Amino acid sequence: MTYPASMPLIAVPCDVRLFENYTWHATPDTYLNALVRVSKATPVLLPAMAGEIDFETVLGRIDGVMLTGSVSNVHPDRYGVPPSVAHEPFDPARDRLTETLIMKAIEAGVPLLAICRGHQELNVAFGGTLVPEVQEIEGRMDHRAIKHQEQRERFAIRHDVMIEPEGHLETIVGKGPIRVNSLHRQGIDRLGSGLDVEATAPDGTIEAVSVRDAKTFAMGVQWHPEYWAESDAASRAIFEAFAEACRARAERSA
C-alpha cells in the first residue's frame, strides 16, 4: 500500500463507554480503517472532554474532522424533544464535544465529514430537529440494522438514495441513484438553517446534507460509507473527496 509523503491528520471525536471499571474514549475501527486505507490519512482520536479541550489549538493542528456513527442517539434535549428511555442510549459527553467542534471546524474552514450520528449532530448544530424513531412514522421505511451475528450482513447495502441534481454530492458520486447501507433510528425532521439536502431515501428521509456557505468540504451522510469504502465505488469516492479537501488544507498550512 502506497501513502502520500504527508498524510493529513483527521480528528475523530470519541464515544464514551464503560468497560472493565474504566471510562473509555473510543471509536469503531471501521471508520479508522477507511481513513487510513482509502483517505490515506492519520486519524487522531479526540476525547469527549469538551470542557478541557482548546478547540482553536486542535483545529490549528489538524487537517479535517470526521464524525462517526454510534449506537448512542443525540440527546433529545438538544433539539427540543422530551427525553424517553425508549430513545436511549445517550452519550451527553459526545454531544457536548461535537456541538462545539462542528461549528468551530466550519468557521475555521476545516473539512468535515459527518456520518450517521454525525449527520444528525450536524443538523442539530445548525438548529435543526430530529425524529427519535423514524420507523414509527407512517409511510417511512424501517432503517434499523437487521439482527444478525455477521457485521457484513448488518451493514449490507440495501436501498437506493436519490441524489439532488447539481449538488455537491452529485459532483462526487455522479447523478445516481446510488445504493447505500443506511442504518439508524433517528433521522432529520426539520432541516437546519444553512444546510442543503444532497440526497433522500425513497420514503423521503433526508440521507445527505451539505453546509451551504462552507469554505471547504462539509457534508453529512446518514449511511455508512466507511464500511465498504475499499470496495464500493460511491463509498470510496466520498472518502477520497474528503481526503482531497484535507490534503489541500494541509498544503496551505505547510
Q: Give catalytic residue positions.
A: 116, 224, 226
* DSSP-derived 3-state class of residue 207: strand
The three-class DSSP label of residue 164 is: coil
Name residues whose C-beta falls within 8 Å of residue 74's C-beta, 6 or more positions apart in sequence: 90, 95, 117, 120, 121, 124, 130, 186
Q: How many Cα atoms are found within 13 Å in the side-chain-facing hemisphere of 253?
A: 18
Indicate the helix (H) or strand (E) that contains 16.
Answer: strand 15-19
Nine-digit cell string for 110: 476545516
Supply the DSSP symbol for 147. Answer: -
CB 58 within 8 A of CB 106: no
Residue 183 phi, psi dihedral angles, 5° rounding:
-120, 110
Is 224 within 8 Å of 207 (Cβ atoms)? no
Could you give the 3-state DSSP secondary structure of residue 211? strand
Q: Nine-digit cell at 92?
A: 451527553
